Amino acid sequence: MAVAYIEVTNNHNRYLLRGARKGIEQPLQFAVVKGCLADAGFRLQVQEAALRKAMKRHFGGASAPFGDEKIDGFISLVREVVKEIDPGSVRVSGYSTTDSNIVYGQLGETEVNALIAKCGAQFEGAEVESIRRFVEAHRDTGDVLSVLMRRHIAIEQPAKSQ
C-alpha cells in the first residue's frame, strides 16, 4: 500500500510521521521518523496514454494513416525532447483539478522546433508537416502535449550535531 508522510509540530519541535498499512482492511499505522519534508522540485512527464489516443484519433483515417509503430516513434521523440528540458524553464499553463502536486507546462517554440527536427529524421516530409500541425493544435493548456509537471517531495535528514 502507499506510504504517506505528515509533518506535525508541538509549537517547539517538528516531527515527521510515516503512515502506512499492509492492506486496505487494516488501519493506518503511524511511526515517528527522522527528517522533515522538503520540496525537491518538479519532474516533467509526457502524457503518453492521452497523446497516443489523440494521435490514433487524428491520424487513424485513410488520408493520413499512422500505425502504432509510427505513433510509438513519435512519443519516443517527445520523451527525448522533454527529458532535455530544465523543469525551472517551463511556463506553467494550468493546474490539475484532481492533484495539487501536478501542474501543466507548455512546450516553448525551442522545444517544438527540436521535436520537429527530430521528426525530420524519422518521418517523411508530408508526415512531418502533418505532425507539425498536430503539435501546434495540441500543445495548449491541458491538451495532450502539455507537459505534466509533478512536484516531488524529499525527506531531508537533520544535520548531525558536531
User: In this structure, are residues 36 and 16 in contact, taking their beta carbons and an 8 Å threshold?
Assistant: yes
pLDDT level of residue 16 (50, 70, 90 thresholds): very high
Report how far residue 37's alpha carbon sits from residue 110's, in angstroms, rounded to the nearest whole number. Answer: 34
61 & 101 share domain: yes
- The confidence score (pLDDT) of residue 142 equals 79
φ, ψ dihedrals at 10, nearest 5°: -115, 25
Domain count, the chain: 2
All three cell numbers of 120, joined, read 525530420
pTM: 0.75
125 and 64 part of one domain = yes
pLDDT in the model for residue 14 = 86
For 113-124, what is the mean pLDDT? 94
> What residues make up the domain containing 25?
4-33
Per the rule left: phi > 0, alpha: psi between -120 and 50, beta: everything else, 123 is beta
Query: pLDDT > 90: what percent of the chain?
Result: 57
Is there a single domain that holds both residue 98 and residue 114?
Answer: yes
